[in-house]
Amino acid sequence: MKINIYYGGRGLIEDPTLYVLNRITSVLEELRVQVTRYNLYEQKNNITVLSNTLKEADGVILAVNVEWLGIGGYMHQFLDACWLYADKDKLRSVYMMPVVIANTYGERDAEAMLIKAWEIMGGMAVDGIRAFVDNQAEFESSVPYRQIMERQTEALYRIINQSGRILPSSNYVVKQSISVSQPIDLTPQESEQLSRYVSDDARVRKQKKDIEELAELFNGMLGSKGGNEERYEFEKNLRDNFRPQGKDFKAVYTLLFTDVGKTLVIEIAGETLRCYYGEKREEEVNVAMKTTREVMNKIVNGRTTFQGAFMSGELTCKGNFNTLRNFDKLFVFDILS
């Protein structure tokens, strides 16, 4: 027998849910059950593919800690992934026991949400463990509480071992009427492949970049028809005065105009220059600058340089200062009369 535990809390040492899961694991291992625990906060970049781990499971335990409201974001993401990519035929034979420990109001609502989600996906839900914990030390030292957890875990083992029947629920009817498999009719193998694509950060970033390039292309086509000059302010100045610094030079600059709240992204790869207004992830930016349109006008008109504006305090920046100094070599503006 194999049971998977999916923990949707934050892994804090004061989370009493961890104590409950340790007690459950101890009982199951004594019964010679193979137990695998997935801490969703450690798997946050791969939550989508965790739905594949359900294939070999006879039962699952969904565990959350209610800190302020509901089941939390990590568990929500996991259930979304199960709804979209899990093998629904397999889920019909998987028993689920909810474990909900609350530090505030709402443990019953959270338990009901887990049960409802699992049954809508076609799985079978059994009675779980829920509790409001006001005093962690008292809760963890209580022998009666520990006995309740052990009995509930043994009940889960028995119903899985005997393939017990579950009384019907209206949630199964909901699944039949709103099943996501109608618009996306995928085989289990196709679902697994798609879930891998979704969890591939590099692939997702490339797709987003392709979309940005298409958007820039179409915006440029629209802008060339007039009436949108402000949208492309300073882009032409940079392109016309671009001086490549070799094929190996690569850098990403962002320039936030604080007076209008727009960010100009400048991407350089060798002799290739891309300029557009938009956003860029902080870890992808070498130099992030802030200034005003008035100062930028002084720069493109040759009345000052980026380095000069930085030294005077008219422009602020963070990042690689060697890359910042290269900016005045990359863009050389003539003094306009």
DSSP 14-64: T-HHHHHHHHHHHHHHHTT-EEEEEETTTSTTSGGGGGGGGTT-SEEEEEE
Assigned domain for 300 exists: yes
Same domain, 25 and 119: yes
Same domain, 42 and 169: yes
Same domain, 160 and 239: no
Residue 70: Cβ-neighbour burial (10 angstroms; 0-12, 13-18, 19+)? middle
Mean pLDDT of 144-158: 96
Same domain, 78 and 122: yes
Assigned domain for 208 exists: no
Residue 155 pLDDT more than 80?
A: yes
58 close to 24: Cβ distance less than 8 angstroms: no
Residue 76 pLDDT more than 90?
A: yes
155 close to 127: Cβ distance less than 8 angstroms: yes
The candidate with the shortest Cα–Cα distance to 107, out of 125, 123, 129, is 129
Assigned domain for 337 exists: no
CA–chain centroid gap for 75, Å, is 12
Residue with the bigger pLDDT between 275 and 321: it is 275
pLDDT number for residue 181: 44
334 close to 302: Cβ distance less than 8 angstroms: yes
Question: Has this prediction a pTM greater than 0.85?
Answer: no
Alpha carbons 52 and 66: distance in angstroms, whole number: 26
Assigned domain for 215 exists: no
Same domain, 172 and 241: no
Assigned domain for 166 exists: yes
Assigned domain for 292 exists: yes
- When the pLDDT of each residue in the chain is averaged and rounded to a whole number, the result is 84
Residue 260 pLDDT more than 50?
A: yes
Same domain, 250 and 189: no
Among 198, 216, 241, the domain-final residue is 198
Task: Count up the domains in the chain and report the number.
Answer: 2
pLDDT number for residue 151: 95
Same domain, 318 and 177: no
Same domain, 122 and 188: yes
Among 198, 223, 258, the domain-final residue is 198
pLDDT number for residue 223: 46
Same domain, 11 and 132: yes
> Please, what sign has the CA dihedral across residues 287, 268, 301, 261?
negative
Same domain, 43 and 172: yes
Same domain, 165 and 298: no
Residue 330: Cβ-neighbour burial (10 angstroms; 0-12, 13-18, 19+)? buried
Assigned domain for 157 exists: yes
Percent of the chain's residues with pLDDT above 70? 81
State the CATH number of the domain containing residue 24: 3.40.50.360
Q: Could you report the per-residue pLDDT of 168-210, keeping only the tens digit for each?
A: 777 666 555 554 444 445 555 555 566 556 555 666 666 666 7
Among 198, 221, 255, the domain-final residue is 198
Same domain, 90 and 194: yes
The residue written with tokens 């459950």 in the block is 24
Residue with the bigger pLDDT between 169 and 57: it is 57
Structural domain range at position 266 = 233-330
Q: Which of 2-6, 52-56, 203-207 is the most confident on average?
A: 2-6
Percent of the chain's residues with pLDDT above 90? 41
Which region among 6-10, 121-125, 237-241 has the lowest average model confidence (pLDDT)? 237-241
pLDDT number for residue 168: 79
pLDDT number for residue 183: 40
Mean pLDDT of 42-55: 89
Assigned domain for 156 exists: yes
